[in-house]
Every structure is written in C-alpha cells, then in structure tokens.
C-alpha cells in the first residue's frame, strides 16, 4: 500500500529532523546543518511527489472522467494552486 511507503518516509524524515535539532543544540558546524536540512527538504519533496502522483491517479482521474464540470474545474484549480504555492517557496 502506498500509504505505508509515505508514512515510512515521513517517519524517516522525522528522525532526521530530530538529528538536525540535536546538531543545532550541539552547535554543529553551520554548513553541516544546512546540508542535513537540504537532505530533509529533498526527502519531503519526494513524499510530496508520491502523494501528488497518488492524487492524480485517483481523485483527479475520477473527477475528469465524471460528468460534473464544476468538480473537474475544482480539482484542476487545486493542482494549479499547489504548483503556484510550490513556486513561492
């Protein structure tokens, strides 16, 4: 199940983040902390991609194949908003 993979990845990120917190508490060299933060960001981006792919293959396909025009427009607008928000980050 894809949900299991997503949860496993998020728990790994959680553990990694705890490690970064310890690094900051221990006054670890800044560049080392930044590299670890970048690794966490990469892992979170991968989780986002997995969730987005699942959403596209389920909710969006269902809406596009359905007869409700407003629902099709709504899910497509959501996808656009997600990409717009990611561009702002």
Contact 57, 50 (CB under 8 A): no
Residue 17: per-residue pLDDT: 98
Q: What angle do CA 83, 13, 85 make, to 5 degrees?
A: 15
pLDDT for res 12 = 97
| pLDDT value for 83 | 86
Intervals of the chain under pLDDT 70: 1, 89
Q: Where are the domains of the chain?
A: 2-88
Estimate to the nearest angstrom the gap between the alpha carbon of 46 and the chain centroid.
6
What is the predicted pLDDT for the residue at 1?
53
pTM here is: 0.83
CATH number of 2-88: 1.20.58.1000
């Amino acid at each position: 199940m894809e949900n299991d993979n997503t949860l496993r990845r998020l728990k790994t990120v959680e553990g990694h983040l705890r490690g970064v917190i310890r690094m900051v508490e221990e006054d670890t060299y800044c560049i080392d902390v930044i590299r670890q933060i970048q690794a966490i960001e990469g892992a979170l981006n991968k989780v986002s991609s997995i969730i987005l792919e699942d959403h596209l293959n389920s909710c969006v396909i269902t809406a596009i194949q359905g007869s409700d025009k407003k629902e099709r427009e709504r899910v497509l607008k959501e996808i656009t908003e997600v990409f717009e928000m990611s561009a702002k980050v």
